[in-house]
Amino acid sequence: MRNLKVTISYRGTNYHGFQRQSNAVTVQETLEKHLSKVLNEPVTITGCSRTDTGVHANMFCFNVKTESRISNLGFCRGVNGELPDDISILSCEDVPLDFHARFDCVGKEYIYKIHNSESKNPFAPDLMFHYRRSLDLDAVREASQYFVGTHDFASFCADCTNVSTTVRTIYSLKIEKDGDSVIMLVKGNGFLYNMIRIIAGTLLDVSEKRFSPSDMPVILEAKDRLKAGRTAMAHGLYLNRVFYSEEELLADI
């Protein structure tokens, strides 16, 4: 028996998230179908995270156990040859049998992409959130720093019923602007359901003066989803990096 750690990227537009569902096409279902063909055995993969419908991944990790003796390069080439164009195998390596893509993950980095222009971008309608208003970058950056650190993020969780705690640590939150492109980069030890999208939506509300930057601690303290802002659209969100060591996680902070 082998345990393979596999990294992939995918465009989430055509999928109802990563996790397998009985009534919709997902990334997991698509991967398992084609992996089973290449490995010549039925397999079930374990993903590092769930992603919502329309959310993308620059880097996503899963592990799969197999009896196949296929080489790692052969695996990458064989599976990529079967997969649709919106999912790509990036790497494959043998890991200990007890490696678990989800439970061994110590942190993740997400990015949220905004096309900030009156005119739409015809080349990325499903890859960036189109935001027409002028963005108050100074206010957004000021507000964003209140999220850095260890906090109870219950106000930024759409459904907290399935988690034991809503306390999470955000190590860094950066807002970068290049022309019409605005990117929010968030690195943390874990994230709640819709947490990044609610933070992004709340920061847009700050830009629109619905909140002031100084309201962020009050919203965090409330532990009430109704106190935070909107939930930003899913298609602007990407799982960007997945970390399996503290050294790697904290390297560029």
| Residues with a known catalytic role | 52
CA–CA dist 147, 170 (Å, integer): 7
In this structure, what token pair is assigned to residue 13? 């537009």
What torsion, rounded to 10 degrees, do the Cα atoms 207, 239, 123, 232 define? -30
Query: Is the Cβ–Cβ distance between 215 and 146 less than 8 Å?
Result: no
3-class DSSP state of 188:
strand
3-class DSSP state of 78:
helix
Closest to 202 (Cα-Cα) out of 212, 192, 188: 212
**Residues written for the chain:** 253
Closest to 216 (Cα-Cα) out of 208, 168, 205: 205
| Long-range interactions of 165-169: CB distance < 8 A, separation 24+ | 166/192, 166/223, 168/192, 168/195
CA–CA dist 219, 165 (Å, integer): 17
- Report helix angle 137-144 to 195-207, nearest 10: 140
